[in-house]
Amino acid sequence: MKLLVTGGAGFIGSAVVRQLLANTGHSVVNLDSLTYAGNLESIPEKYIGDRYKFEKVDVCDQSELDRVLSICQPDSIMHLAAESHVDRSIEGPSAFIHTNIVGTYTLLQAALNYWQGLSADRKSRFRFHHISTDEVYGDLEGTDDLFTEETPYAPSSPYSASKASSDHLVRAWHRTYGLPVVVTNCSNNYGPYHFPEKLIPHMILNALAGKPLPVYGDGKQIRDWLYVEDHARALIKVATEGEVGETYNIGGHNEKQNIDVVNTICELLEELAPENPNSLASGCEGGFKRLITYVKDRPGHDARYAIDAGKIQRDLGWVPEETFESGMRKTVVWYLENREWWERVLSGDYQLARIGESV
C-alpha cells in the first residue's frame, strides 16, 4: 500500500512514518506544512529510501492537496496534522480553528474528489483514517468510569472543541457522501521525539537544566499515558484492518496523576543521570524533586481522562506493549542519549532542516 500521512513530521505522525518504513513494506507520502511542531529530524535518514516522499503542504491548501493526491495516488490517508497544545489553544484559538477544523474540511473535500475518481476496486480498499483525542469527551467524574466509543462529546478547551468539530465533519462526510472513514481517539502520548513544550519532555529537560518543574494546581489531574510507539502500531493496524465507519479508542491502561508522573521522572533521573549537578548523588540537597513548583491551575483543566480500549483489542488484537514504568524509562533514556535532537529544537536550528523532501 501507499499511505499519505498528514502531519508526518509531528510527534505521533513521525512515529507512524518510522514504523511504516521500518516494519512494513508500505510506501509513505509525508505531508506536513512544517509549523513549529513539525521536525523532519524526527525521521532519521536511515529510514529514508525509495518508499518515502516528503511534501511540504498545508492541509488548508486544497489545490496543493489535489496535486499531491493526483500525483502520489495513495491507497489510504492517515490524517494526523493538527494543532494540539492546550495552553496554546487558550492563548490563541484561531490557529486551532483554522488547522483542525478548516484543514480537516479541506482535506475531506480533496479526499472525496480523489476517491470518487478511483476504480471500483481501489475505491473499495481506500480508507480515510482520522486521528483524534480522548479530550473530546471532556473529563470523568468517577474514579471507575472510562471513555468508550459511545461516550458523549463534552470538550472543555478550544483545542478539544476544534478536534471534536473535526471528528463530526469526518463522520458527516462518511454518512452524507459515503467516504470510507475510520476514527481513532487516543489518550495522552509520550515517548521519543516529543516536542519539549509537552509535560513529560518539558519536565525532563527542565530537571536536567536545574529549572523549576511547574505543576498545575495540586497535580492530581489523572491521565491515561500511552507510549507513542504503541500508539503508532495501533494506528497502522486501524488504517490497514479497521472497519469502515467504526471508531476505536486507543489507551495505554496507565492512569497516573500528573504529580506522580513528575515524581517518576525525577526518580529515573536520579538513577540514570547521577552525574547531573541537580542530582542527589552530586550532593544537591533535595535532588531533582526540589525543583517541583506548584503553579496556578490552567483554565478549564479536566480532572481525569481514562480510556476503555477493549474494542480495539477485541476487534483488531491490539494491546500496548509498554507499561508506564517501561515506557517512561525508555523515554528518559532517549532524551539523555539524544541531546543533539532536543538542543536543536530548543535553539530553533531544527527548523532549518529540509531532509528527504523527495526521494
Which residues sit opposite 28 in a β-bridge?
Answer: 3, 52
230 is catalytic: no
Q: How many helices (H) and strands (E) does the chain have?
A: 13, 12
**3-state class of 5 per DSSP?**
strand
Catalytic-labelled residue, pool 55, 58, 83, 134: 134
d(CA 153, CA 50): 42
Q: Cβ contacts of residue 239 below 8 Å, gap of 6+?
A: 3, 76, 78, 127, 129, 182
Residue the block writes with cell 481501489: 122
- 3-class secondary structure for 80-117? CCCCCCHHHHHHCCHHHHHHHHHHHHHHHHHHHHHHHC
216 is catalytic: no
Catalytic-labelled residue, pool 41, 55, 64, 135: 135
**3-state class of 309 per DSSP?**
coil
Catalytic-labelled residue, pool 105, 159, 190, 335: 159
**3-state class of 4 per DSSP?**
strand
308 is catalytic: no
Amino acid, single-letter form, for residue 60: C
Q: In terms of Cα–Cα distance, which of 80, 339, 30 is closest to 205?
A: 339
**Which residues are annotated as catalytic?**
134-135, 159
